[in-house]
């Protein structure tokens, strides 16, 4: 009888949707504090600029060896300030940062920082750009050459060693920058929106590449982004921040198996949940609801809502 079939189809559809919902819930859970000493320990870090902007307030983050942690938040919430403090490029006005138990008091060879600009020497070839910092660290020409070529191969630029930066596309320049950073074998890789200037397709290729290299080496990475989907594709953990004052709203563990695809249904659904929860948290603390995020520039952009209210919103976790 047809109604029996309709009934069965309805239940099976409902069951499927329920399974999906429960499954998706388990893919993004609040991070549990791990046992053992943290590789990077950020304790009650605060920073106020001289113009009295409170860029960071009471930020507590532990990053363990081999974790890929994404700092996610809207423009101005203090992501770069925190990253520069980790790099030792600025001293926060309050709190402590340690890496491997040592207080960070300046830049060090254990930490390499990558920016949105590839920052290559225009007069040097791909190979020379990669060998230069290795030679500066005392490697022989042969050692530096071998190491640079290994990472040029890993970022799929073999055959382009003798080209100059202006002969490369933006994505290729960023791959050189990645090879140069990885060849230095830093203990911690710090990345400030490194793929922000790339088009969607190139960015997606960079995500694939970075994931495959990371799965090989399991470096400790702190990656700043305001792109929710990018954070979910790359991070073991996503630390959601809000601004004025810059603070941590939620520390989430991503349990989606790797390699991850930005168009994966779970990633799209979870990214919507993070954006909605951020939007709700912001709206709850603002008399007039903040403007919604503009339409993404491309299909993988998913930026977090742009404006942060001045009062503290409730934690985002409740809605996730
Ligand atoms: N050198 C500075 N002097 C004064 N204020 C600063 C300085 N650098 C940053 N700020 C302020 O500190 C706050 C945090 O800035 P920060 O650059 O860390 O934000 P962000 O989250 O990295 O933003 P974006 O996503 O736009 O890069 C902002 O309000 C910014 O205006
Ligand atoms: Mg920034």
Longest dimension (CA), the chain: 81
Ligand 1 site residues (CB inside 6 A) read 49, 51, 53, 55, 73, 75-81, 226, 246
Share of the chain above pLDDT 90, in %: 65
Atom of ligand 1 nearest to the CA of 244: 29
Supply the pLDDT for residue 52.
Answer: 86
Atom of ligand 1 nearest to the CA of 73: 21
- pLDDT confidence bin for 220, thresholds 50/70/90: very high
Q: Does the CA dihedral 177-182-184-187 come out positive or negative?
A: positive
**What b/e readout covers 217-230, taking b as 16+ CB neighbours within 10 angstroms?**
eebbbbbbbbbbbb
Residue nearest atom 27 in ligand 1 by C-alpha distance: 75
pLDDT digits (tens, 9 = 90+) for 178-204: 999 999 999 999 999 999 989 989 999
Residues with a beta carbon under 5 angstroms from ion ligand 2? 80
* DSSP structure class, residue 31: P
Tell me the C-alpha distance between 8 and 228, whole Å: 37
Supply the pLDDT for residue 242.
Answer: 87
Q: Does position 21 have pLDDT exceeding 50, yes or no?
A: yes
φ and ψ at residue 145, rounded to 5 degrees:
-60, -45
Atom of ligand 1 nearest to the CA of 83: 18
2 burial via Cβ count (<10 Å: 0-12, 13-18, 19+): exposed
Supply the pLDDT for residue 245.
Answer: 87
**Ligand 1 centroid, distance to 78 Cα (angstroms):** 6
**Ligand 1 centroid, distance to 76 Cα (angstroms):** 5
The number of beta carbons lying within 10 Å of the beta carbon of residue 77 is 26
**Ligand 1 centroid, distance to 122 Cα (angstroms):** 28
Of residues 95 and 26, which shows the higher confidence score?
A: 95
Q: Does the CA dihedral 149-154-159-163 come out positive or negative?
A: negative
pLDDT digits (tens, 9 = 90+) for 126-144: 999 999 999 999 999 999 9
Contacts of 114 (CB under 8 A, 6+ apart): 177, 178, 181, 189, 190, 191, 192, 194
pLDDT digits (tens, 9 = 90+) for 64-108: 999 999 999 988 899 999 999 999 999 999 999 999 999 999 999
Residue nearest atom 26 in ligand 1 by C-alpha distance: 75
Domains in the chain (CATH in brackets) are 30-110+220-320 (3.40.50.300)
Tell me the C-alpha distance between 99 and 161, whole Å: 34
Tell me the C-alpha distance between 66 and 73, whole Å: 22
* Helix extents (H) in the chain: 2-27, 79-87, 126-136, 141-154, 170-183, 200-217, 228-234, 265-284
pTM for the full model?
0.85
| 131 three-state secondary structure | helix
């Amino acid at each position: 009888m047809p109604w029996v079939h309709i009934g069965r189809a309805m239940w099976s559809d409902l069951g499927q949707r329920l399974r999906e919902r429960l499954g998706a819930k388990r893919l993004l859970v609040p991070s549990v504090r791990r046992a053992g000493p943290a590789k990077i320990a950020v304790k009650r870090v605060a920073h106020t600029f001289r113009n009295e902007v409170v860029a960071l307030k009471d930020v507590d983050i532990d990053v363990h060896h081999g974790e890929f942690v994404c700092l996610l938040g809207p423009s101005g919430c203090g992501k770069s300030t925190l990253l520069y403090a980790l790099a030792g490029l600025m001293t926060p006005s309050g709190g402590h940062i340690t890496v491997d138990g040592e207080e960070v008091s300046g830049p060090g060879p254990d930490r390499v920082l990558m920016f949105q600009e590839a920052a290559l020497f225009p007069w040097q070839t791909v190979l020379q750009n990669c060998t230069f910092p290795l030679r500066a660290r005392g490697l022989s020409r042969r050692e530096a050459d071998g190491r640079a070529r290994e990472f040029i191969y890993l970022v799929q630029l073999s055959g382009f060693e003798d080209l100059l930066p202006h002969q490369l596309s933006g994505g290729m320049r960023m791959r050189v920058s990645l090879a140069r950073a990885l060849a230095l074998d830093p203990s911690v890789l710090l990345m400030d929106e490194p793929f922000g200037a790339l088009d969607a397709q190139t960015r997606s290729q960079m995500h694939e590449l970075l994931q495959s290299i990371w799965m090989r080496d399991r470096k400790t990475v702190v990656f700043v982004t305001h792109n929710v989907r990018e954070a979910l594709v790359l991070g073991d953990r996503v630390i959601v921040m809000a601004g004025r004052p810059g603070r941590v709203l939620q520390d989430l563990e991503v349990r989606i198996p790797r390699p991850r695809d930005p168009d994966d249904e779970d990633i799209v659904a979870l990214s919507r949940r993070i954006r909605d929860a951020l939007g709700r948290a912001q709206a709850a603390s603002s008399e007039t609801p903040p403007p919604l995020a503009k339409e993404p520039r491309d299909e993988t952009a998913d930026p977090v809502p742009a404006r942060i209210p001045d009062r503290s919103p409730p934690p985002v976790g409740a809605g996730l």
